[in-house]
Amino acid sequence: MSILKYSFNEFLQFGLKQAYASIFGGFLLLLIFVTNYWYPFELPRYDFLFIAAVIFQIVLLVFKLETFKEASVILLFHLVATAMEIFKTSDAIGSWQYPEQFNIGFGNYPLFAGFMYSAVGSYIARIWRIFNIRFDYYPDIRWTYLLAALIYINFFTHHYFFDMRWVLIAYTCIIFYRTNFYFIVNKKTRKMPMLLGFFLVSLFIWFAENMATYCRIWIYPDQLIEWHMVSPSKLRAWFLLMIVSYVLVSIVHKPQKISLK
């Protein structure tokens, strides 16, 4: 096989595996897009999305497309995100809002929204397994747990005290600056700097967020009158929240060192 043909086949397999890993998030985005233009049911759309997400999660488990350990961590991230969402969408904070009616939820927060966070955890868990990811120069796991805890706390405290986002991003860069992750698409082992991988996932989430706000699943205060793209500054928040998800997934998929010999 020529190098060009092999590279094309590898690129194609990479895309297909990425799509497979994103199946939960892709399903949610598809439902969000379709129901924005066509929704014939009397049941509130947010409640319909919640029920559909639960059913799809069960399907993934029944057909063994996701392990129960992965699902347990994803559920944990759902709960962690729910606590943050209830706080962020409260009348006192109002960081963003869900403009439609719902029955399944708490306060100003429809429970289906937690599945959008779960989709991030699902992607990370599945990509870890599908690409057989290994690492070099991985930091002490305790430093990553501390990082995730500080990030989560800052999502609450920055409304009242100093916002540590740039400090936490710097902390992330310090502990992961040497780390590479190695993955196998076909047969050859490829590698990528960990920080670059974090950024690319965050960028993808930001694109998905723009689609979700365009479909008015949730909106920011400056999108009430007219939709416009979400500020790229939100990439900082997604970068940090994605790391919380990544660290939770690392509880199940213990980071394994690669042998370079």
Does residue 260 belong to any structural domain of this protein? no
Range of the domain at 91: 3-252
> Residue 112 falls within a domain, yes or no?
yes
130 is a domain residue: yes
* Nearest-10 Cα torsion for 210, 212, 214, 218: -110
Q: What's this model's pTM, rounded to 2 decimal places?
A: 0.92
Spatial distance between the Cα atoms of 123 and 22, rounded to a whole number of angstroms: 5
Nearest by Cα to 237 from 95, 138, 140, 121: 95
Q: For residue 259, is it within any domain?
A: no
Instruction: Tell me how far apart the alpha carbons of residues 22 and 29 are, in angstroms, rounded to a whole number.
Output: 10
Taking only the tens place, the pLDDT of each residue in 206-256 is 999 999 999 999 999 999 999 999 999 999 999 999 999 999 999 888 999
Between 167 and 9, where is the model more confident? 167
What is the mean predicted confidence (pLDDT) over 74-96?
Answer: 93
For the stretch 86-132, pLDDT in tens is 999 999 999 999 999 999 999 999 999 999 998 999 999 999 999 99
Which of 74-78, 154-158, 175-179, 203-207 is least confident?
A: 74-78
What are the Cα distances from residue 82, in Å, to 99, 122, 193? 17, 16, 31
Residue labelled with tokens 């059913």: 55
In a domain, 11, yes or no: yes
pLDDT band at 260 (very low <50, low <70, confident <90, very high): low
Q: Is residue 257 part of a domain?
A: no
Instruction: Quote the strand ranges of the chain, DSSP E.
Output: 105-106, 109-110, 134-136, 180-184, 189-193
